[in-house]
Amino acid sequence: MSFLTRWDDDTSRPSFGSALRDAAVRAVLPGVGVFAVIVAIGLVIMGPLRDFEAENAVSRWFQDRRTPLGESITKVMSMIGNTEYVIAVAVLVALVVLWRTRQWWFAVVPLLAISLQATIFVIATAVVGRPRPTVERLDPTPPTSSYPSGHVGASTALYVSFVLMATRIPNLAVRRAVIAVCVLVPFAVSFARLYRGAHHVTDILVGLANGIACALLAWGYLRRDTGASTDGSGDRAAQSRA
């Protein structure tokens, strides 16, 4: 069974309890490890690297090259990573996927991804407490520290989940178009957050890593059975899981 095709190789229905246990063991528990790595990197930045002051030069470079058009475009790009937007899009897509597939256990993948990312992000910012870049910020910043970027993490977790889900789209042209757009979104948000002075470069990079890790954990949260029926009915067979 391929990691990418696991949802097509086994479409059998799990019980809610078994899905919940799988999410705890296969997504939340590894997420603790992701959190530990992110916090460790942040503490190194704030400790031995002394807030990595050199990164402020990059923020000032972007500030010096701002234009009215650039500010207008990046405002929209930055909004894509706003919490309310991410949640709304995740719920909408989950409902559409549920309607199309009748597989609630598959439809929840993006919701699990953004929930896991948000939990890691919120606690990590509180622990690390990194100041924002020393430039004018074009957006009101939330009461969290600069590290890691929540906007970038949330948009990455969401749209990488969509990329993985889009691999199941039968129409090749549509599949490629959806994947291309979803790959570009996190990079657009990343650029906007740098341009608008909200984050340091390492905040962005760790936000991307956090989002990707959470999307992959969400994609693999449910045990799938290489020998299970693919008719989508009945409880998942109690055989060896992948």
pLDDT band at 222; cut points 50, 70, 90: very high
- Asked if residue 229 has pLDDT above 60, the reply is no
Output the pTM of the full model. Answer: 0.91
User: Residue 158: inside a domain, yes or no?
Assistant: yes
Tokens of 1: 């069974």
- Give the model confidence (pLDDT) of 6-52 as tens digits: 999 999 999 999 999 999 999 999 999 999 999 999 999 999 998 88
User: Residue 50: inside a domain, yes or no?
Assistant: no
Q: What is the CATH number of the domain that holds 144?
A: 1.20.144
Contact 206, 149 (CB under 8 A): yes
User: Residue 12: inside a domain, yes or no?
Assistant: no
Q: Residue 228: its pLDDT value, please? A: 55
User: Residue 7: inside a domain, yes or no?
Assistant: no
Q: Residue 237: its pLDDT value, please? A: 38
Average pLDDT over residues 217-224: 96
Contact 210, 81 (CB under 8 A): no
Q: Residue 232: its pLDDT value, please? A: 44
Contact 242, 223 (CB under 8 A): yes
User: Residue 33: inside a domain, yes or no?
Assistant: yes
User: Residue 86: inside a domain, yes or no?
Assistant: yes
The domain in which residue 121 lies consists of 19-44+55-219
User: Residue 8: inside a domain, yes or no?
Assistant: no
The residues, ordered by sequence, that sit 6+ positions from 2 with a Cβ below 8 Å of its Cβ are 9
- Give the model confidence (pLDDT) of 174-212 as tens digits: 999 999 999 999 999 999 999 999 999 999 999 999 999
- Asked if residue 57 has pLDDT above 80, the reply is yes
Distances (CA, A) of 64 to 67, 85, 94: 9, 29, 41
Count structural domains, the chain.
1
User: Residue 90: inside a domain, yes or no?
Assistant: yes
Tokens of 127: 């622990």
